[in-house]
Structure 1
Amino acid sequence: MSRLTPFHVAVPVYDLDGARRFYRDVLGCAEGRSSDHWTDFNLYGHQFVIHLKSRPAVPEEHPTNLVDGHNVPIPHYGVVLEWEAWHELESRLRKKNTHFIIEPGIRFVGQPGEQATMFFLDPSGNALEFKAFKDMGQLFAV
């Protein structure tokens, strides 16, 4: 695999201060530049930005797609971590009493792409997935 470069993603949040606390204090992201309408974070080496948005009058619901017996929210975002880093994050999230919409576990056991994965929501309802492969070479396995 060639050297990866950081991605940039921006997501809407309804409470900038609450979202800042979540990404900083729960996920452990370092804060970067900010204004009264957005904040940059270092999400495992990637540029992640939260942007303040008005809360919709009718709550938005995530559609889902059935994957390995789970209703996976679409859209979602996250990072593929090293195996040990994933377990450290899982432990930190459990200590912070994070509600998982798909509990941490191993998917595709014994198949190409076997992975540890977990899904949860940020305070604005954005779906996050963090995953890890014991064999990172299996990231794009078919």
Structure 2
Amino acid sequence: MTTLDVFHLAIPTHDLDATEAFYTNVVGATRARRYDDRVTFRFFEHQVVCHLDPEFAPAADLDPFANIYPRHFGLTFRNGDDFDAFHERCARSGWHWFRPWANRFGDLPERHRTFFLADPTGNLLEFKHYEAERYIY
């Protein structure tokens, strides 16, 4: 693989309009195209496709302390300043935090900063930055 390869992720949505507003206005993705049954985004240089499933109910009962694993996706920032700027962007959007900014793993070498958002359908997104890049993988 080369750095030009693009990761593709397909997830469900119950509402294309609300989903498009979240991914463009809150996390800054660019809408690539939209059809009656899906919307495709350029999400940090990767492809996220949200497929319409009107019967897929929003996950209203998500518990921020129990439901993040294993079902979430997101981005690990290599640059701490970029992470901070993105966190600030999300804060300015007014969107609610699923899990607010936190430090994980305290004084361990793999410590990192993280926060979670939930899109309108309840798909969970984690954004994080490791202090020591070697612990990303």
The two structures have a TM-score, normalised by structure 1, of: 0.82
RMSD: 2.4
Corresponding residue number in structure 1 for 2:54: 54
Q: How many pairs are equivalent?
A: 134
CA distance in 1, matches of 2:68, 2:29: 23
Shift of 1:33: 2.4
| Percent identical | 28
Are 1:129 and 2:110 matched, yes or no? Answer: no
The CA deviation string for residues 41-69 of structure 1, in whole angstroms up to 9 with x for no partner, is: 111111111111113469575588xxxxx
| Structure 2 unmatched ranges of 5 or more | none
Change (3 A) 1:109 1:80: same
| Structure 1 unmatched ranges of 5 or more | 65-69
The CA deviation string for residues 13-72 of structure 1, in whole angstroms up to 9 with x for no partner, is: 1110110011011111111122111111111111111111113469575588xxxxx535
User: Residue 14 of structure 2 contacts residue 57 of structure 2 at CA under 8 Å; is this kept in 1?
Assistant: no
Change (3 A) 1:96 1:102: same
User: Residue 13 of structure 2 contacts residue 56 of structure 2 at CA under 8 Å; is this kept in 1?
Assistant: no
The two structures have a TM-score, normalised by structure 2, of: 0.84
Change (3 A) 1:34 1:88: same
